[in-house]
Amino acid sequence: MEIAEKTVKKTFSWPIFDETEVEAVAQVVRSGKWGNPDCGDLVEAFEKEFAAYCGSKYAVSCVNGSVSLRLALIACGVKPGDEVIVPPYTFIATASTVIEANCVPVFVDLDPDTYNISPQAIEAAITPRTKVIIPVHFGGQSCDMEAIMDIAKRHNLRVIEDAAHAHGAEYKGKKLGSIGDVGSFSFQSSKNLTAGEGGIVVTDDDELYAMMNSLRNVGRIEGGQWYDHYNPGCNYRITQMQAVLLSAQLKRLEAQTLTRNENGLYLNQLLEQIDGITPLKRDADITLHCYHIYIFKYDKTYFGGLSKTEFVERLAAEGVPCFRGYPHPLYKQPLFQNKNFMCYAIPDDVDYTQVECPVAERACSDEAVWILQHAMLGTKEDMESFAEAIKKIQSEV
């Protein structure tokens, strides 16, 4: 049986590295100074580099992007039973860390044109118990931060930007993560800036910095003694080896982001010409998009009724690095449906069985198709091959 030739013949690899990263890690190994903070000069150097890159005053590194959100929430002063507004179309950590802070995630729907949290839905969900908004810059596309910051100011709320997908991206010329009270990033393996694992928070607020720095270092404070612990923190520190990997990778990030941005703009032009395919709307306020995920909306009526799952399977078979995304919104997860909150102090009357976010549900079930970030580091010809793969599927159904 003859095997059909793929439309996309290139293999896209990630992470991108060379002997620079290998030698940087080797030097740390040879030094015998691996830890932090006893030998943490390289960690501190990376934190300063990343803060400067984001245009922020401070950065505090930690073990992963889930912990970075948790540090931010606790530092923002939340108390048990407080409400935190989050989108339902994101990774579980955006909401599960709210549970870990003994707070109540309040899920609000998305803007149908961007799949980012809707400012109108945020405003409608605010109650006297609301304390924090966590906008997620999903796929690297900025939320409407002007509207969100306006809401937060009028209601005296904190804003924690979940920028786990958004390294290097900009809104009105400002790096994402530097606009709210705190910006939280992940360095997990798939992320645009990676050391395999790790996370970081950035802020301009002196008090938030001091608390997050203490919480990630078992409650110690700057200037205190080694065995004096002032806050209920834990050891969330990264190692010297992670820090040098990240410093080396950071030197590549801006050029990679520019490439992703250019390819995303070009792919938008190509896909706009295909019936049944709609790229997400990109406003002029988004001055730089890092396309951690390139997302388009799929309409099966233009593809012979082919389900989204079947379409994505065919697209992958053509060689496009793609995924169908989340199978359902976060509030449909067993954690929330079954109220499996274990030791956390979530009020008994919290109930997610009646939550409905129609835009998020359509995105999960029928519409949203993802092209993965490493593919966006390809050439214009690669973007053309992605469009050709979609056209090929359409012509065959």
Question: Locate tokens 């150097």: which residue?
Answer: 45
Q: Which residues are within 8 A (CB) of 339 and not within 5 positions of it... i.e. 6 or more apart?
A: 346, 350, 351, 352
- Cα separations in angstroms, 132 against 73, 97, 245: 8, 13, 33
Q: At residue 7, what are phi and psi to the nearest 5 degrees? A: -70, -40
Segment (H or E) for 61:
strand 58-62
Catalytic residue among 237, 260, 289, 314: 237
Q: How far apart are CA 103 and CA 107, in angstroms?
A: 13
Q: How far apart are CA 145 and CA 152, in angstroms?
A: 10
Q: How far apart are CA 152 and CA 379, in angstroms?
A: 41
Q: Reply yes or no on whether 191 is catalytic.
A: yes
- Cα separations in angstroms, 63 against 39, 47, 57, 216, 386: 17, 13, 21, 9, 35
Q: Reply yes or no on whether 165 is catalytic.
A: yes
Q: How far apart are CA 80 and CA 82, in angstroms?
A: 6
Catalytic residue among 220, 260, 297, 374: 220
Catalytic residue among 165, 175, 216, 260: 165
Angle ∠(345,207,56) on CA atoms, nearest 5: 110
Please, what is the angle between helix 41-54 and helix 240-271, to 10°?
30
Q: Which residues are within 8 A (CB) of 250 and not within 5 positions of it... i.e. 6 or more apart?
A: 46, 49, 50, 53, 193
Catalytic residue among 30, 225, 227, 273: 227
Catalytic residue among 91, 107, 298, 386: 91
Q: Reply yes or no on whether 137 is catalytic.
A: no
Letter for the amino acid at 4? A
Instruction: Tokens for 225, please give them.
Output: 């003694």
The answer to whether residues 151 and 119 touch, using CB atoms and an 8 Å cutoff, is yes
Catalytic residue among 188, 240, 256, 373: 188
Q: How far apart are CA 345 and CA 166, in angstroms?
A: 31
Catalytic residue among 109, 162, 181, 382: 162
Catalytic residue among 167, 191, 289, 314: 191
Q: Reply yes or no on whether 237 is catalytic.
A: yes
Three-class secondary structure of residue 158 per DSSP: strand
Question: Locate tokens 């050709």: which residue?
Answer: 388
> Catalytic residue numbers?
91, 162, 165, 188, 191, 220, 227, 237
